[in-house]
Amino acid sequence: MRAVNPWLLFLPAFIVVGFNSFLPIVYAAYLSTQRFYLTGIEAKFIGYDNFTALMFDETVWRSLLTGAAFVVTCLVIEIPLGLVMALMMFKESKLNRVIRTLISYPILMPPITVGAVWLLLTRPDIGPIPNFLNQFGIVYDIGSNPFHAFFTVVAMDVWYWTPFVILVFVAARASISPEQYESAMVDGASSWHIFRYITFPGLRYALVVVLLIRMIDSLKIFDQVWILTSEGPYKATNFMSIYIVKTAIGQLNVGYGAALSLFFLFIIIILTFVMLKLVFGRRSSS
């Protein structure tokens, strides 16, 4: 029987990945070198002019800054909250199972539905949130107040994604062997020491995964924000994804939109690389 080149076995995967990821990126790279409006104007090669333009585009930097603030705020809330709740409900019991099922409900919803639900919750005329806050004299308006818009999107993200964080931590906590806890207790370790030296190291890789996924996800956030606030007052929620879509689809400026997309992709790759290096690099050195 003739030996088959083992690389051939990778071929289907190469084709799928290449078609799904590589080709669009190559096409985006091509578009980014064009002055190309989707309005029938002849596309014109302009080299790296689109990239030069984005370097001087105030909205790009403002959007990145807004995105960074959003990611940090979300992670600072979601990770500790998720961790605490996971530790409270990781034990197998009927009540915990019910609670875990109930709190998982948001992640089953499509993002577009989440946006629509929050739009109804926050509508100044019929929304329960503004009506509740009005009782305390707080005028809540995501249409005119940039802080309200920004923190409402943060709240929506926390509501939507904290259950995911909880589930990952619950699974990770369940995988730590009980013997370690028993030994620690026999040795008289305090609760803090048990958390510091057993629980936290056991959850470290789950933490990295959650951080990585949530960071990238939060940076890319689009659907919910598109529905809820769009770019928001004072562009308070004009994240890069929103700006890219408004440029490429709203303004039909496909060439510049492609350049923005590639630039954004580059930033996400760099951030992911740094995160992986920080965590796994440290692991291999230790």
Q: Which residues bind another protein (CB under 8 A)?
A: 35, 37-41, 122-125, 130, 139, 141-144, 146, 229-235, 246-247, 249-253
Q: How many Å apart are CA 117 and CA 111, to the nearest integer?
A: 10
Q: Identify which of residues 6 and 40 has a Cβ nearer to another protein in the complex.
A: 40
Least distance in Å: CB of 96 to another protein? Answer: 39
* CB-CB neighbours of 139 under 10 Å: 11
Residue 243: partners with Cβ closer than 8 Å, 6 or more residues away: 59, 60, 63, 231, 260
Q: Rounded to 5 degrees, what are φ and ψ at 191?
A: -60, -45
Q: Identify which of residues 88 and 249 has a Cβ nearer to another protein in the complex.
A: 249
Q: Identify which of residues 41 and 84 has a Cβ nearer to another protein in the complex.
A: 41
Q: Identify which of residues 66 and 162 has a Cβ nearer to another protein in the complex.
A: 66
Least distance in Å: CB of 233 to another protein? Answer: 5
Least distance in Å: CB of 230 to another protein? Answer: 6
Least distance in Å: CB of 54 to another protein? Answer: 14
Given a contact cutoff of 8 angstroms between Cβ atoms, the answer to whether 160 and 224 are in contact is yes
Q: Identify which of residues 128 and 281 has a Cβ nearer to another protein in the complex.
A: 128
Least distance in Å: CB of 264 to another protein? Answer: 19
